[in-house]
Chain A
């Protein structure tokens, strides 16, 4: 058991699984190896579906004690647990019992509960961004002024009224998007790519262990 506890084991697993994807990609090792490589990817997908267990368990660990101990807002926690199980049960893949993703009740709940909630929660940021812009988007320095001017041009460019009143704003907005924005994002992309490569190599060499942290 103590051998299994050693951090070198998951590091070795990570390296092996990474190399399975990397080596046959650069070195032609024949169709059999390629088929295995492909199978490993699909097999990993099955393993990774269990990650949802972490989310589920974490939610239950927070909300079940809240309900059993009648803590503040326990009624809402009960509602959360109820909806979690409700969606899981009506979504179970048994079409013969009218359950599953294409079943009537699953469609009913995702159309009328999940969709309005999800879309509305993300959309509420429209209010906060306006309020924040009013309070904080000030030309306090040259950099802030440049961001303010460029941002305002783009806001006007995206409004049909903006391009209607000032047709040149479309060209100006597109120039900002195509030249400075593209160039800056390209530099960030190159930098990010180099960073990702370095991270990958560190993982392959066993130097990067942050993701394995935790436990006793």
Chain B
């Protein structure tokens, strides 16, 4: 019987590399042998999609890429799905970045989607525009809210003055914006947008964020400052199902299941070994 506590002790001090290896295996496995579990859809994802569906024709939507490349795994599927959804609607889309990495990702997403080509056929400068990165964080948000033309005077791709594009004729300040979509990994993000765009201009906002951010956005959701939220990869999968375009989010669903389940098993095992060892003492 004396061996029993030793087993629990050993289990508690297991080489971390074994845990790492197991995690590698359980995440790789479902990509090689997919399970295809259904993904139930949450209310926030529905609200996020509805905010875009309800946009009147001709509305100006500002999509801000407020994230670092570190958030790519969660936000890339959200960004692709959101822009796809927007490009299928008769609205004007202005893409900006408050984080410098955000400009890279926006460029990647746009190169993947190719909005100028079918099925979208949206004209650059008329239906959409990419203005690039505005440094300064919250200060840049405030400056953009006041004056788009002066804060981002040229576009990202052609370096032409924004006044030469038809889409920019109706966009001078945040007062002209119907919806703000912030795709974000941290600060500056929702807090700052609410401070600089919701408080003075009452611009409605939806947020696609990494999971870590979700709990801090919750008070804005409950208070009505944020209309909808996609927190992380699970929500990305839900949103892809809502808009009928399966992508990286749905493809990740099985790996999300296996990794989370293994995580829970590790927590349970860790607690069992802890209590067994404590009891034996």
Most chain B CB neighbours (cut-off 10 Å) among A111, A174, A177: A177
- Any B CB within 8 A of the CB of A197: no
Q: For residue B68, which residue of chain A has the nearest CB? A: A118
Distance to closest chain A CB from B218 (angstroms): 4
Cβ < 8 Å to A, chain B residues 127-166: 132, 134-136, 139-140, 142-143, 146-147, 150-151, 156-157, 159
Q: Is there an interface contact between A160 and B42, defined as CB atoms closer than 8 Å?
A: no
Residues of A within 8 A of B256 (CB): 158-160
Residues of B within 8 A of A148 (CB): 267, 271
- Any B CB within 8 A of the CB of A73: no
- Any A CB within 8 A of the CB of B103: yes
Q: Is there an interface contact between B219 and A130, defined as CB atoms closer than 8 Å?
A: no
Q: Is there an interface contact between B264 and A152, defined as CB atoms closer than 8 Å?
A: yes
Bound form: Cα–Cα A91–B234 in Å: 36
Distance to closest chain B CB from A142 (angstroms): 14
Residues of B within 8 A of A138 (CB): 270-271, 274
Q: Is there an interface contact between B261 and A130, defined as CB atoms closer than 8 Å?
A: no
- Any B CB within 8 A of the CB of A27: no
- Any B CB within 8 A of the CB of A59: no
Bound form: Cα–Cα A123–B14 in Å: 22
Q: Is there an interface contact between A44 and B139, defined as CB atoms closer than 8 Å?
A: yes
Q: Is there an interface contact between B257 and A38, defined as CB atoms closer than 8 Å?
A: no
Q: Is there an interface contact between B23 and A118, defined as CB atoms closer than 8 Å?
A: no
Known: A48-B136, A170-B40. A119 touches B69 (CB 8 A): yes
CB 8 Å contact bits of B234-271 with A (1 = contact, 0 = none): 10010000000000000001101111111110110111
Q: Is there an interface contact between A130 and B156, defined as CB atoms closer than 8 Å?
A: no
Q: Is there an interface contact between A42 and B151, defined as CB atoms closer than 8 Å?
A: yes
What is the interface size of chain A, counting residues whose CB is below 8 A from a CB of the partner?
Answer: 52
Q: Is there an interface contact between A48 and B40, defined as CB atoms closer than 8 Å?
A: no
Q: Does more than half of chain B's interface fall in helix, strand or loop, or is it mixed?
A: helix
Residues of A within 8 A of B264 (CB): 152, 155-156
Q: Is there an interface contact between A133 and B261, defined as CB atoms closer than 8 Å?
A: no
Cβ < 8 Å to B, chain A residues 165-204: 167, 170, 174, 177-178, 181-182, 185-186, 189
Distance to closest chain B CB from A115 (angstroms): 5
Residues of B within 8 A of A101 (CB): 103, 132, 156
Q: For residue A145, which residue of chain B has the nearest CB? A: B271
Q: Is there an interface contact between A41 and B157, defined as CB atoms closer than 8 Å?
A: no
Residues of B within 8 A of A131 (CB): 16, 19-20
Q: Is there an interface contact between B270 and A134, defined as CB atoms closer than 8 Å?
A: yes
Q: Is there an interface contact between B23 and A130, defined as CB atoms closer than 8 Å?
A: yes
Cβ < 8 Å to A, chain B residues 176-230: 211, 214-216, 218-219, 221-223
Which stretch in B49-57, B70-78, B85-93, B118-126 binds the other chain? B70-78
- Any A CB within 8 A of the CB of B280: no
Cβ < 8 Å to B, chain A residues 120-134: 121-123, 126-127, 130-131, 133-134
Bound form: Cα–Cα A178–B103 in Å: 33
Q: For residue A139, which residue of chain B has the nearest CB? A: B271
Residues of B within 8 A of A152 (CB): 264, 267
Bound form: Cα–Cα A206–B140 in Å: 25
Bound form: Cα–Cα A158–B257 in Å: 8
Q: For residue A111, which residue of chain B has the nearest CB? A: B108
- Any B CB within 8 A of the CB of A104: no
Residues of B within 8 A of A178 (CB): 218, 222
Bound form: Cα–Cα A27–B161 in Å: 34
- Any A CB within 8 A of the CB of B7: no
- Any A CB within 8 A of the CB of B113: no
Known: A178-B218, A182-B219. A137 touches B267 (CB 8 A): yes
Chain A contact residues, CB within 8 Å of chain B:
38, 41-42, 44-45, 48-49, 95, 101-102, 107, 110-111, 114-115, 118-119, 121-123, 126-127, 130-131, 133-135, 137-140, 148, 152, 155-156, 158-164, 167, 170, 174, 177-178, 181-182, 185-186, 189
A to B CB contacts below 8 Å, 30 in the list: A41-B146, A45-B151, A48-B135, A48-B139, A102-B157, A111-B108, A119-B72, A119-B73, A122-B70, A127-B19, A130-B20, A130-B266, A131-B16, A133-B263, A133-B267, A134-B266, A158-B232, A158-B234, A159-B259, A160-B253, A161-B257, A164-B38, A164-B257, A177-B214, A181-B215, A182-B218, A182-B222, A186-B219, A186-B223, A189-B219
The 4 closest A-B pairs by CB, nearest first: A122-B70, A161-B257, A159-B260, A118-B69
